[in-house]
Amino acid sequence: MSLSMFSAPGRFYRGNLHTHSDQSDGSLSAQEVCRRYKAEGYDFISLTDHFVGLYNYPVVDTSDCRDQDFTTLFGAELHSGTMENGELWHIVAVGLPLDFAPSHSPHFAPVPDQETGPEIAARARAAGAFVAIAHPQWLGMSVVDAASLEAAHAIEVYNHSCAVDADRPDGMHMAEMMLAQGRRLNFIATDDAHFAVPDAFGGWVMVKAQENSPDALLQALKDGHFYASQGPELHNIEIEGNKLHVRSSAVERVIVAGPGSAAVGHYGEDLTEATMDIRRFKDAAWIRVAVIDKAGKRAWSNPIWRS
């Protein structure tokens, strides 16, 4: 049985869900950001400028950047409330309405009488957005913080700007902590590009949809019909009894991981197919697949729930 994201109708579209322009603290105009992503072969992006009063709470209208080959989803990076370490929440919301109501977040520091992070995330989800926990390692986010964000659809397992700027790109450990609690979060990789340093085109999602339109892409994101990548492609994942089959672009490692330390690997030169025994995970609530190429670039499946 192939996973639904591979058997669903449509094709895969490459997109970045976290990027900034000069409408907040990015270096380039919204139009130039879109132009660069299109030139790099992306099918879509979501411009997610910082939703604070300092920048007049932007949800940037990028509809003028759309054409028959490239589209955009309206979004923002939301900031409101205090995490356990005293820092302001950062929450990615893709598919926001342009008139999403401002929070009481005048700048990049918590202030009294703000919505909490979970509250603004829930409001974004109620408004139709796909909501993601942003760069948990970079923020120093606690497990309690992450667990409180019940409205989240996904978590960033890789953030390219945080890799370039702070050597803190990872979200997989936090993601697995959430999975261990039974939270059905999916995985995204993003750029979080600001274009002041070389922080673009390092992490993206591949979304399976019937067309490259905002509505179709947003629904596919909510349905979990996507995977995260730094370069490799996943072509199919299929489970038959105790065997898991993976087809991908050329890689040197295929890893299946589950709760705790459980993992099995398959290794070779220019692998495009692998079949793996997954009896080790017979009692596991979930597993995930990673493929890793010769350059160390990864692609990650979303969690595969066994129940």
CA-to-CA distance for 288 and 290, rounded, in angstroms? 7
pLDDT per position as a tens digit, 270-291: 999 999 999 999 999 999 999 9
Helix (H, G, I), strand (E, B) or coil at 55: helix
Q: Tell me: the pLDDT tens digits for 78-111?
A: 999 999 999 999 999 999 999 999 999 999 999 9
Q: Is the pTM of this model over 0.95?
A: yes
Q: Tell me the domains of the chain and their CATH numbers.
A: 4-228 (3.20.20.140), 234-305 (2.60.40.10)
The vertex-252 CA angle with 227 and 17, nearest 5°, equals: 20
Spatial contact of 106 and 127, defined as CB atoms under 8 Å apart: no
The model's pLDDT over 252-275, given as tens digits with 9 standing for 90+, comes to 999 999 999 999 999 999 999 999
Q: Is residue 240 left, alpha or beta, with left meaning phi > 0 and alpha meaning psi from -120 to 50?
A: beta
In sequence order, what are the residues at sequence separation of 6 or more whose Cβ sits closer than 8 angstroms to the Cβ of residue 126?
none
Residue-wise DSSP of 182-241: T---EEEEE--B-SSSS-SSS-EEEEEESSSSHHHHHHHHHHT-EEEESS--EEEEEEET
Structure tokens at 268: 């070779």
Length of the chain: 307
